[in-house]
Amino acid sequence: MMDADTRYEAVRSRDGRFDGAFFFAVETTGIYCRPSCPAVTPKRHNVRFFATVAAAQGSGFRACRRCRPDAVPGSAEWNVRADVVGRAMRLIADGVVDREGVAGLAARLGYSARQVQRQLTAELGAGPVALARAQRAHTARVLLRTTDLPVTQIAFASGFASVRQFNDTIREVYDATPTEVRAAAPRDRGVRRAVPGAGIPLRLAHRGTYQAAAVFDQLAREAVPGVEEVTGGPGGRTYRRGLRLPYGTALVAVHERTRAARAGAGTHPGGWLEARLNLTDPRDLTTAVQRLRRLFDLDADPYAVDERLGAAPRLAPLVAARPGLRSPGAVDPLEPAVRALAGTRGAQELVRRYGKTLDAPCGSLTHLFPEPAVLAEAEPAGPLGALAAALADGTVRLDAGADRDDAEKALLALPGMDPAVVAALRVRALGDPDVAPPGADIPGTWRPWRSYAVQHLRVAGELPW
């Protein structure tokens, strides 16, 4: 926890480590920024601090056009925390409020809507509706700047209930009409507009150093043919796959090569991964982006992880060799379970037999991963069938807002479920940063980042994959 004076010092030093952890607003200008904003530092008595973009917007401040505070990586705190606020933030990011309303969010969390509203407002300065509204505004800005979709279509694709609500929100948040936001896009440095049929170009931001090579190595090693692939070579690889989403499907491509890679460096301090999404329904943009962020662990805090693990004698040389190493997640909780229980070849066979064929296959991508209900009906026997059935009927929940301890208990209650598989699912499906595989020599002093410690040991060849 940081007090106001410490936050102001971070603002004075333009410390990018805190981008997304908090935001500051300037009362004399009515603008809110990220801590690393390059503008002249305001006087302390004119500054207010907020935990979220939604809280700043709710207090009447509009986003800085220079530092774009709504485009920073998400707070690493929401990924780490297992309490109701952390779980709620992950579900809101996944678009649950837009699809199911506050009542649906509360039901998933096991609380009343009033309790959820009270806890979020007390801690974050904004309730679930305001938090979802801020996210919708950012999604709308992305679509306005990168596509030629009609403004009316963007309004509903972003999750707004009406065009009037959409127009009012964009004016309030960005101090510009939707048409003005779109018109300004060509003047924004580095912005690329979508080519018809080629998808939406995106920058998936992250904080700190990002070890892209290690992540792409792992994704290449685990790739299930037909569903995902990694192509390219030393100059930069591309991860491609199909996604099943709430309103439709998508083909996504994420590129390993970054600004620093182009300059000849292996890592880079802060930046983004370039991506492109082909969506059958634009309403899925927010959800697709968030699931890619979980897969690539883009909301992690490498500063906190490296500081803690780098102090351990056994890990110090590994952290020095690979600062900012990430712990990848998953876009579909069933996928890591199937790989763990059936292996990659077994997963490929299940995809061939039960996966949904893409309407427009692209290269080697031909299928979507089987749905739990389909797999449960087709393969009812054994641990895999039991898990698929439990996911299908809700006995086991492995979504972004699931309670990790409850999920582990439910998994272990399934017939034939291996504790090692359960540990893997806590890391990959539930994004738990502090998991030690059964039997591994992982001391408790490495908490709360044992998942990252395991990743270092595996990449270094000291633990098996």
Q: Give the length of the chain.
A: 465
Span 338-352, mean pLDDT? 93
Question: Which pLDDT does position 191 carry in this prediction?
Answer: 52
Question: Which pLDDT does position 257 carry in this prediction?
Answer: 67
**Average pLDDT over the chain, rounded to an integer:** 91
Model confidence over 222-252: pLDDT tens digits?
A: 999 999 999 998 889 999 999 999 999 999 9
Question: Which pLDDT does position 309 carry in this prediction?
Answer: 98
Span 204-209, mean pLDDT? 91
Q: Where residue 29 falls among pLDDT bands split at 50, 70, 90? A: very high
Report the distance separating Cα 95 and Cα 84, nearest Å: 16
Model confidence over 163-194: pLDDT tens digits?
A: 999 999 999 999 899 999 999 875 544 555 65
The answer to whether residue 260 scores a pLDDT higher than 60 is no
Q: Where residue 80 falls among pLDDT bands split at 50, 70, 90? A: confident
Span 129-147, mean pLDDT? 93
Span 446-455, mean pLDDT? 97
Question: Which pLDDT does position 75 carry in this prediction?
Answer: 80
Model confidence over 270-325: pLDDT tens digits?
A: 789 999 999 999 999 999 999 999 999 999 999 999 999 999 999 999 999 999 99
With beta carbons less than 8 A apart as the criterion, state whether 435 and 423 touch. yes
Question: Which pLDDT does position 264 carry in this prediction?
Answer: 37
Domains of the chain, CATH where assigned: 4-71 (3.40.10.10), 84-146+149-187 (1.10.10.60), 200-298 (3.30.310.20), 334-430 (1.10.340.30)
With beta carbons less than 8 A apart as the criterion, state whether 293 and 271 touch. no
Question: Which pLDDT does position 146 carry in this prediction?
Answer: 87
Span 366-371, mean pLDDT? 96
Question: Which pLDDT does position 267 carry in this prediction?
Answer: 39
Question: Which pLDDT does position 265 carry in this prediction?
Answer: 37
Span 69-92, mean pLDDT? 88
Q: Where residue 140 falls among pLDDT bands split at 50, 70, 90? A: very high
Instruction: Read off the tokens for 44.
Output: 């302390």
Question: Which pLDDT does position 195 carry in this prediction?
Answer: 56
Span 3-32, mean pLDDT? 94
For residues 66 and 76, the model is more confident at: 66
Question: Which pLDDT does position 268 carry in this prediction?
Answer: 39
What percent of the chain shows pLDDT beyond 70? 94
- Spacing of C-alpha 283 from chain mean position: 17
Catalytic residues: 33, 441
The answer to whether residue 108 scores a pLDDT higher than 70 is yes
Q: How far is CA 383 from CA 340, 372, 390, in A?
A: 11, 13, 10
Question: Which pLDDT does position 194 carry in this prediction?
Answer: 57
